[in-house]
Structure 1
Amino acid sequence: MSEHIHAINALQQRVAERQASSLLGLIAGELEQMIINGTLVAGDRINESALATQLGTSRGPVREALRQLEFSRLVEFRTNRGMFVRQISVDEAARLYDIRASLFGLAGRLAAERGVTPEILETLHTKVSRLDRAVPQVDDYYPGNVDLHRDLVALSGNPRLLDLYNDVSKELHLFRRHGLETENARHTSNSQHAGILEYLTVGNAEETGRRMEAHILSGKDRMLAAVRS
């Protein structure tokens, strides 16, 4: 009987741990989305109590979720001051752009070599069309842009590459928005997306990779021009 009770308690504990993990992932995802859409920007102090109220939870899970984001370098703890959205220098951002460009280009070559189904291509074209309609507003365009890039990297079939790309990209959210502040920049960005899909469709690995790498480097140039103007 005691062994049966022990087994039930162990199962309940595993269920509780799974629920807690899911909750932390949900909260971390919401916080990341706040950074992506500009609700939280680099240098902002994060109010745990206000966030807990907004998300309908206690401060404990919010604090744990922030620790997860600290590990991924989206936020940073400052002694006696609390948790802040992480800031990086322009020079550091430029170096991260170079890394991101190489990862994006590699993902493009791998994706084209693997081949992409007509159904997936249709989904990608639909997302590019939605971005065309979102061009007038950066708050509409930027989250969709982030989503499309993740989809393209995922097509590489290399989960580790996707993780590395996401890690680098998360640190660059503020600077990526800088490079898309003008409507002309957003139009240029999405025109490049369409060009990438043309070569991905025909399976041209070299040109897909080249265009995807160039797309990120173009964003780097726009970001540097924006922050130095």
Structure 2
Amino acid sequence: MNTSSSAADAILSRRSQSLSGIVQRELERLILSGEIAAGERLNEQRLAAKLGVSRGPIREATRALESAGLVTVVANQGVFVRQLDRDEAAELYDMRAVVFGFACARLAEKAAPDQVAVLKGLIAEMDAAIGVPDPSRYYRLNLQFHDTILAFAGHKRAVQIYDSLVKEAHLCRQRSLQPIASMQESNEEHRRMVAAIAAGNAVEARRTAEAHHFGGKRRWQATLDKEATRTADAAVA
């Protein structure tokens, strides 16, 4: 057995995996930011040129993105950014409610005063974003608020599952938070969650966390209904 050759192969394999990981993260960023739109085909050659890599890492990255639920492979046609239908997106809200409710209940049992202070600070920043108003900033802070609760809860598998669910639902969620009234309602729900966590009330923390996600689902569905009405009215006109 040629030990040097095996070691070299292992190093090359790690380099390849590292490169495909970098490419995966960049493609994920392009998809989640909307730079590559839902339903759009991923052009391997164009992406390889854009990222300065060969097509191999692009293929490896798209396989990982398919496993993550962000792209769909269509036989003889290519790889497309996944488009969620209404039922699929609604299911994601339901599942996020379960996982986040668990995380909030867990955090309520052990939250430290400095952790509660961090969460209240994020709520205050979201209030400021509403006052401007700055929906994009509110959305970023909203994501940070949820990520912070998951991190404070200290449950790695819950973080992994929630992160995966959020990525799948990312594009449809942002639209539902744009109206000022929706942002205000959402942040009031945040306030109730943190109050329950600060009080050490795990049952109430779970309840308010689940209610928050069901509220988000309702706001998102209302946005879709309004868009459908506007489209129908425009067609009639």
Task: Classify the TM-score, shorter chain.
Answer: 0.7 to 0.9
Amino acid in the other structure paired with 1:147: Q
Higher alpha-carbon deviation: 180-189 or 84-93: 180-189
Contact 1:199 / 1:207 at 8 angstroms: preserved in 2?
A: yes
Distance 1:63 1:145, change over 3 A: farther
Q: Which residue of 1 aligns with 2:119?
A: 124
Determine the structure 2 residue equivalent to 1:21.
17
Shift in Å, 1:226: 0.8
**Deviation of the 1:163 alpha carbon:** 2.0
Conserved? CA contact 1:37–1:142, under 8 Å: no
Counterparts of 2:120 and 2:45 in 1: how far apart (Å)?
41
Do 1:76 and 1:85's aligned partners in 2 also have CA atoms closer than 8 Å? Answer: yes
Aligned counterpart for 1:50 among listed residues 31, 41, 46? 46
Amino acid at match of 2:171: L
- Structure 1's 227 and 197: CA in aligned 2 closer, same or farther, altered over 3 A? same
Counting only pairs closer than 5 Å after superposition, residues 82-101 of structure 1 correspond to structure 2 as 82-101=78-97
Q: TM-score, normalised by structure 1?
A: 0.83
The answer to whether 1:153 aligns with 2:150 is yes
Q: Which amino acid aligns with 1:194?
A: R
CA deviations over 1:65-110 (Å, ceiling 9, x no partner): 1110101111111223221111121122212211221111111111
SS at match of 1:43: coil
- Report the equivalent of 1:79: 75
Q: Report what 1:32 is aligned to.
A: 28
Root-mean-square deviation over aligned CA pairs: 2.5
Letter in 1 for 2:37: V
Asked if residue 41 in structure 1 is aligned to residue 62 in structure 2, the reply is no
Structure 1 contact 75–85 (Cα < 8 Å) conserved? yes
Match of 1:167 among 141, 164, 170: 164
| Distance in structure 2 (CA, Å) of the matches to 1:17 and 1:106 | 39
Conserved 8 A contact 2:193-2:208? yes
Residue 102 (structure 2) pairs with residue 106 (structure 1): yes
Which range moves more in the overlay, 203-212 or 174-183? 174-183
2:224 is matched with 227
**1:192 maps to which residue?**
189
Q: Is the 8 A contact 1:27 1:55 kept in 2?
A: yes
**Contact (CA 8 Å) 1:75, 1:84: kept in 2 or not?**
yes
Q: Identity percentage over the alignment?
A: 38
1: CA distance, partners of 2:212 / 2:128 = 20
Deviations 1:10-34 (A, max 9, x none): 4444443333333333332232233
Q: How does 1:199-214 map to 2 (within 5 A)?
A: 199-214=196-211
Out of 130-139 and 218-227, give the one that drifted further: 130-139
Structure 1 residues 19 and 128, CA gap change in structure 2 (3 angstroms): farther
Deviations 1:33-62 (A, max 9, x none): 333333233212223333334333333212
TM-score by length of 2: 0.81
Q: Distance in 1 between matches of 2:39 and 2:162?
A: 23
Q: Partners in 1 of 2:24 and 2:128 — Cα distance?
A: 29
2:59 matched residue in structure 1: 63
Distance 2:14 2:112 in 1: 34
Question: Helix, strand or coil for the counterpart of 1:155?
Answer: helix
* Equivalence for 1:141: 138
| 1:9 Cα offset (Å) | 4.3
Instruction: Note the residue ranges of structure 2 that are not aligned, 5 or more in a row.
Output: 227-237
CA distance in 2, matches of 1:85, 1:97: 20
Measured in 1, the distance between the counterparts of 2:195 and 2:209 equals: 12
- Superposition misfits of 4+ residues, deviation over 6 angstroms: none
Change (3 A) 1:166 1:53: same
